[in-house]
Each structure stands twice: as structure tokens, then as C-alpha cells.
Amino acid sequence: MLDKSIFGETFYFINNSPADRQAMIYGGVLAIYGIAVISVLYLIKRHAPRSFRGISTSILSPLGAIFGLTATFLIADVWNKNADAQLAVNNEALAINQILNISSGLPKEISQSVRDKTQKYWRTVINEELPILATIKTIDNEISRRARHELYEVASAVASSTAPASLHIFNLVDDTFKYRSQRMVVAVDVTESKRIELCIFLAAFLILAVAITHNEKTHIMIIMTFSATLVTSMVICFAAINGKPFDYKASLLTKAGFFKIVEETELLSKPNTTNPLEVDPFSGNASETIRNKKYK
């Protein structure tokens, strides 16, 4: 029970760590494992030089192929995940933009209400939901429930209106729910860590096989084992860093301008100066404000 508890807590800590810390942990574990393999084989070779004689290098082919296929599917899934996240964020921002633009076609009192409620929803997304997207494991949290409630309020505000724009806005709210759901599905996906753990397991076998099949000369064994450790670590660390599209502190795509949801709100109409947002997403300061927030 103790061992299971320790392992469970360890995996929980790793899975709930930021992407950059996860990459460091995975890379460090493989590096320590590679050093341990070299040290053990070196000691075995000193005391029993003929221990690994007769082991063919052909065992590397199936192990390498299995690891290669697994890594290929893992990286492909990472890119698809990032593409899905980007599409969902862009579509959600566009739907909000259209709601604000079309709201001018509603009666004055309803128009202002729809605009205020829509901005309230987007304020919640930017100021509260954005900073926690990289760490949440379920959409059933207080912030997400409040954001959904704010969207329901927008739909309720136009439900009783007979203006031509009301039906269009109602459909846009429905689209916003859909894009929001797509974004949250990407955010709470935990299967990435399981695939990475599988890759680490296969990488450990591959590193061991490389060391054993190159044990004739110590310096060759060290070079080949180090090379195998480095290559497998690079693949796994790359997947870990980019496996969380909403972790703006680590994702390589973030550096290329991927997750700048605040900048997406520039597509929205001009800010309402009579009812400004808590953090104005239309100003350049909003992005810096979010960067200063810590993940919860």
C-alpha cells in the first residue's frame, strides 16, 4: 500500500506540474537511468566479461521500431491537439465579436444588456479562466460554471425579443458554447501524460538494449547509450512541453504567437467606456497582467 501510495502521489505531482517542469523531470529521469545502466553494465563486465557475449544487435530493430511508431503517434497527437485548441479559441473569439457587432440591431435596452453580459463573459474567460486552463482536470469548477451561466444570461436576454437580430445572436451563443466546449475538452485532456509514460517505458528498454549490444568496448557503450538517452529524452520532452497548448509559459507554439487569447479580443468591437472591463482585453496591458498571474 505504501509503495502504491508513493507512486500514485509521484505521478499526481508530475501530471499536475507545469509543462516545463514535467519536461525537466522526464529528461532528468532518463538521464539518471542512462547513467545507472552504464554503471551497472560496466560493473558486470568487469566481474564477468563474457556475460553479454552472443547478444545480437538485431534486438534493436523491433525495439527501435516500436519506440519510433509510438513517438510518431505521440507527436502527431500533440500537433493535432494544438491545432484543435487554436481553432476553438479563434472561433470563440469570432463568435463573441459577432455578438457584440449584431447587438446594435436589438432594441436599445436589450442591446445594452446583451453587450454588458457578453463582455462579462469574456472578462471571466480572460481574467479568470485563462490562467487556470493549463492545470484544470475537469470543466466542473466554479469559474467554468460561472462562465457558462453568463452565456445562458446572454441567450435569455434575446430569447424574448422579436427583433431579427435576436435569433442570429441566439445561434451565435449556441456556437460559442460549442467552441467553448471544444476548448475545454483540449484543456482537460489527460491522455497525453499516459502516452508519454508509455514512451518513457519503451525508451528505457531501448536504452538498455543499446547499452547491452554495444558493451564490447566501454567508450563505445557510453557514447551509444548517451546518444540513445539524448534522442529519446528530446522526443519525450518535446511532447511534454507542447502537450499543454494552454500552458503559455512553456509551449513552443506560444512563442510563435499561438496562445494569445487576449490579442484575439482585438477582433471585438471598441470597448464600452461606460462599462469598462476589470482588465481591459482591448489594451496592450491585459496580456502582461495575465502573464503576472500564477496558475492555481
41 touches 152 (CB < 8 A): no
Max Cα–Cα distance, the chain, nearest Å: 89
Please give the pLDDT value at position 286.
40
Residue 89, amino acid: V
Q: What are the extents of the domains in the chain?
A: 16-291
Taking only the tens place, the pLDDT of each residue in 205-243 is 999 999 888 888 888 889 999 999 999 999 999 888 888
Provide the grid cell at 99: 455578438
Interval 159-204: pLDDT, tens: 877 788 888 999 999 999 999 999 888 888 877 778 888 899 999 9
Mean pLDDT value across the chain: 78
pLDDT the model gives residue 179: 92
Q: How far is CA 178 from CA 121, 181, 239, 284, in A?
A: 15, 5, 27, 28
pTM strictly above 0.75: no
**Which pLDDT score is estimated for 248?**
66
Instruction: For the chain, list residues with pLDDT below 70.
Output: 1-12, 16, 54, 248-296
Q: What letters, b where the CB count within 10 A reaches 16 and e where it falls short, cover 71-80?
A: beebbebbee
pLDDT for 253 equals: 53
Instruction: Answer positive or negative: Cα dihedral of 207, 208, 211, 212.
Output: negative
